[in-house]
Amino acid sequence: MRKLVAIDLDGTFLNQYYTISSLHASTVKKAQQKGAEIVIATGRANFDVQRLFQNEQLSTWVIGANGATTYDPEGHLTVSLPMETIYAKEIITWLNEENYYYEIVTDNEIFITSKAKQLLQDEMDIVQSAERSEMERARERQLGQANLQEIEDYIDVFQSEKEIYKITIVSFDEERRRIAADTLSKKGLNLFSSADFNLEIVDNKASKGNALKKLAKKLDMKQDDIIAIGDSMNDLPMLEIAGTKVAMGNATEEVKQHCDYTTETNEKDGVAHMLEREILQK
């Protein structure tokens, strides 16, 4: 029986250095050779996933921007759920007024304002409770993304009429994240968190779960054919619709409670262990 395997990226398929282990890459290829359909389901943009895939010569379906986009293995956009412009403008105006670091994710670029890097550094200097090394890794993750471009004014994005798929907010201050979530929650939007330090805002029809459900229908696969694996709260929507739910060893306790079993951590190639069990040994 064919299987559709949905794999989260950060904290799951990637290690702590935001790279793909050779074992993870080789095991995915073996699973594909056995007939499994693999989809990476991530908050990252597709072009950033392709940058990560390049060295390992991987090719999979990609659910990007927390479900706002889906690309086939050949790189064609098959699902597009951009944010409504009116919501995007309201959000960005407020974030600028309150001096938050944020990113605007489109189909081809990630935009930050010219003062964004300094805002991120200021937060690291002010927040003393968080681990410095953890904040450094978070900063490296955000600023190491593909196609990151600085702009003087966010209005430039709207004037270019680019479709906005996601707005990412990064703050190391728990209270500031709570305020942002409370202020920006509204009917037409979904808010997710893929790490302790971020908020990711997308259209209310976008989620990893909805995107995975559409992909399963396209590939004529039932719920029992779906396997999902993840570590964070934004993975719950896709885990909920999977026939087999797998948590990473480093997953949050809430994610583990929603799953059928827990595999190894991302540092110990947990995805490879799951694929061996669910695909290669059957």
Answer for the pair 262, 254: CB distance below 8 angstroms, yes or no: no
Q: Is the pLDDT of residue 90 over 70?
A: yes
**What number is the average pLDDT over the span 137-151?**
90
Q: Is the pLDDT of residue 203 over 90?
A: yes
Q: How far is CA 159 from CA 149, 155, 182, 228, 231, in A?
A: 16, 6, 29, 39, 37
pLDDT of 201: 97
Which of these, 36, 40, 45, lies nearest to 20 by C-alpha position? 40
Answer for the pair 64, 208: CB distance below 8 angstroms, yes or no: no
Answer for the pair 229, 8: CB distance below 8 angstroms, yes or no: yes
The b-or-e profile of 58-74 (16+ CB within 10 A means b, else e) is bbbbbbbbbbbbbbbee
pLDDT of 282: 86
**Whole-angstrom Cα distance, residue 225 to residue 60?**
17
- pTM value? 0.93
Q: Are strands 61-64 and 37-41 parallel, antiparallel or unpaired?
A: parallel
**Whole-angstrom Cα distance, residue 242 to residue 98?**
39
**What number is the average pLDDT over the span 205-220?**
97
Told to judge if 196 belongs to the known catalytic residues of this protein, a careful annotator would answer no
Kindly report the average pLDDT of the chain as a whole number: 94
Which of these, 213, 282, 239, lies nearest to 31 by C-alpha position? 282
**Whole-angstrom Cα distance, residue 107 to residue 58?**
20
| End-to-end CA gap in the chain | 10
Q: Is the pLDDT of residue 98 over 80?
A: yes
In words, the CATH class of domain 85-203 is alpha beta
Q: Where in the chain is the domain with CATH 3.40.50.1000?
A: 4-80+206-280
**Whole-angstrom Cα distance, residue 176 to residue 1?**
48
Contacts 24+ apart (CB under 8 A), 115-124: 116/150, 117/143, 120/170, 123/170, 123/171, 123/172, 123/173, 124/172
pLDDT of 211: 98
**pLDDT band for position 194 (cuts 50, 70, 90):** confident
Query: 191 Cβ partners below 8 Å, 6+ apart?
Result: 181, 184, 185, 199, 200, 201
Range in 40-49, 61-70, 85-94, 127-136 with the lowest mean pLDDT:
127-136
**Whole-angstrom Cα distance, residue 128 to residue 157?**
34
Q: Where in the chain is the domain with CATH 3.30.1240.10?
A: 85-203
**What number is the average pLDDT over the span 87-99?**
94
Query: 17 Cβ partners below 8 Å, 6+ apart?
Result: none
Looking at domain 4-80+206-280, which of 3.30.565.10, 3.40.50.1000, 3.40.50.2300, 3.40.50.720 is its CATH number?
3.40.50.1000
Q: Given the residues 8, 48, 225, 269, select the one marked as catalytic.
A: 8
The encoded tokens of residue 27 equal 């095991």
**Whole-angstrom Cα distance, residue 226 to residue 277?**
14
Above pLDDT 90, what percent of the chain? 82
